[in-house]
Amino acid sequence: MADSARISVIDKVRRFLSNKNNLNVLKLELKDYFFITLGVAVYALGVNIFMLPYGLTTGGVIGIATILYYLTEWNVDTTYFIINVCLLIVAVKTLGLRFCLKTIYGVVCMTLILRVFQNLIADVDAEGHLVFPRLLGDEIFMACVLGGITDGIGLYLCFANNGSTGGMDIIAAIVNKYKQMSLGSVILACDIIIISSCYPAFHDWFRVIFGFVLMFICSFTLDYCLNKTNQSVQFLIFSRNPQKIADAIVKTGRGVTMLDGEGWYTHSERKVLMSIVRKNEQMYIQRLIKSIDPYAFVSLTNANSVWGEGFDQMKVKAEKQQKNRRTLVFASNSTHKLNEVRAILGDKYDVRSLADIGCRIDIPRITGSIQENALLKARFIKRYYGFDCIADDTALECDALNGLPGIYSTTYASVSDEEALNNQKAMLHSEQYSEELSNEMLNILHTAASNDKPIVHDDVKGNVDKVLEKLQGKSRVARLHTAVALVTGEYIDPKKNETHIFDGILEGTIAETPSSEPKFFYDSVFIPKGYDQTYDELGVDVKNQISQRAIAINKLKAFFEKKA
């Protein structure tokens, strides 16, 4: 049994390593841990060489630990470890397990490396006290400068690689997650309180002043390094071969916008490319442009703050009335549908229409089920507009017609039953983002009708008349079936989308004749079970309470409440 279990583990490892994506993820994780270790070592070196020998106090948990060391001679590494264990218990829920795993690793590393450096650097006097050599003689100000720079670089190496040295870094990371405040600024605020507590303990203003100097230099170094690596640049490219340059930049993972321009001297039309990339990608893009068109005219400017896809997120306070509301897009412009959904979900949700987000594309029904049609619409909005999205699709299913009109409910008048039953389109996989689905989305964009063309409405009367004709002399049992798709998660990488489907089914029958002139779907002929009137006759208020869409949306609402 042990041998078979061992072989099973080996097979899993072999399969894992054979996947290139898994290998890339593994390499990135190992890189993170390497630089976290390096950052911790640099920070610990600064503490043992520049801080402890000169009696300097900085902020953070290290600052607290050093104050206690000066007062009680408790080991810095032991105090540091105990305080961080308490902070990590709070951090796991807020920052997530992945961040905290690396933080735990950073804390353990810091504890061990502090002890190792103390054993290597410090001597023990006759009374058993640790004595640290002063490498800079009596130059305490230089110790402040070099200590601040060293600690700032160490913190940068940790933060830039998704890690932390614990302590105030954890508090800074929590604040930075929700607020537009730099890491250095948050640490600065915490450190002011800690360093100021030196005076009641030592009654020495010089110790406090030098602590502030060290803290300021550390904070400045951290922000400088982070901003330097996160800085972005904007390219404006004027070329006679813009398409090829645009295609090449897109392959790097960055976006390009093609603008229309006119050369005023020649009065000839020109295409202008605009692209924003990270500072560290600048040289590669420049070489790429030169290799395609060495005579291109290129303007490059610094972009200090870039928010959006592939860059940073805007972290600003929402307006008071919007603060506790979740924004959702309902993929429709139907006033009736929107009012129904908003009434069910209530004030906790800001439900927006397609027009509200600037989407004027009529997303077609192109798959083999109403679930897939709804999912396609929701994924399209999530991918190209970024919002969490709900979308629906509805079908009338008649037992006597083998479930027709089904997915052809809005086009039933224009298709034959044979075509509807025998030419069902292949269903797209609903559980993961596929290349096929991506191509379908791009087709929607590329083939979308211009605003100048009239919108073709459903032939409601033709659909109703055909259903009534086909059901003559047959069972009139039918149902309305609505599928509501929810797509949330990361829109930059659609493979990380979270998708859910909620079905609402309302049983009923089809009336012998329409109760009114058919205007919307099959409302003039569908009689819900338990009633003797059609949807039209029951009115909007009753319909919104019992409808198949209401059933599906209530399931969605229950799902949200369960996750809250």
pLDDT of residue 73: 72
Q: Which is more confidently placed, 117 or 509?
A: 509
For the chain, what percent of residues have pLDDT higher than 90?
21
Q: CA-CA distance, 9 to 385, in Å (whole number)? A: 42
* Per-residue CA distances from 550 to 371, 379, 478, 502, 503 (Å): 16, 22, 18, 11, 10
The values of phi and psi at residue 164, to 5°, are -165, 155
Q: CA-CA distance, 172 to 183, in Å (whole number)? A: 6
For residues 183-206, give the mean pLDDT: 71
pLDDT of residue 509: 96
Contact (CB, 8 A) for 252 and 285: yes
Q: Is the pLDDT of residue 469 over 90?
A: yes
Q: Which is more confidently placed, 174 or 137?
A: 137
Range scoring the smallest mean pLDDT among 322-326, 435-439, 449-453, 471-475: 449-453
Q: Is the pLDDT of residue 177 over 70?
A: no
Q: CA-CA distance, 185 to 556, in Å (whole number)? A: 41
Q: Which is more confidently placed, 82 or 168?
A: 82
The pair of structure tokens assigned to 308 is: 């959006």
Averaged confidence pLDDT in the chain: 79
Percent helix, percent strand, percent coil in the chain, to nearest 5: 55, 15, 30
Options 3.20.20.70, 3.40.50.300, 3.40.190.10, 3.90.950.10; CATH for 320-563 is 3.90.950.10
For residues 316-339, give the mean pLDDT: 76
Q: Is the pLDDT of residue 209 over 90?
A: no
Q: Is the pLDDT of residue 491 over 70?
A: no
| Residue ranges of the chain that CATH labels 3.30.70.120 | 231-303
For residues 42-59, give the mean pLDDT: 83
| Residue ranges of the chain that CATH labels 3.90.950.10 | 320-563
Q: Which residues contact 401 (CB under 8 A, 6 or more apart)?
A: 417, 467, 470, 471, 474
pLDDT of residue 95: 62
Contact (CB, 8 A) for 159 and 227: no
Q: CA-CA distance, 463 to 409, in Å (whole number)? A: 7
Residue pLDDT, tens place only, 390-416: 999 999 999 999 889 988 888 888 888
pLDDT of residue 487: 92
Class of 231-303 per CATH? Answer: alpha beta
User: Model pTM?
Assistant: 0.56
Length of the chain: 564
Contact (CB, 8 A) for 484 and 556: yes
Q: Is the pLDDT of residue 82 over 90?
A: no
Selecting among 77, 151, 191, 393, the annotated active-site residue is 393
The verdict on whether 393 is a catalytic residue reads: yes
Contact (CB, 8 A) for 350 and 327: yes
Contact (CB, 8 A) for 275 and 237: yes
For residues 237-259, give the mean pLDDT: 88
Q: Which residues contact 443 (CB under 8 A, 6 or more apart)?
A: none
For the chain, what percent of residues have pLDDT higher than 70?
74
Q: Is the pLDDT of residue 427 over 50?
A: no
Contact (CB, 8 A) for 124 and 192: no
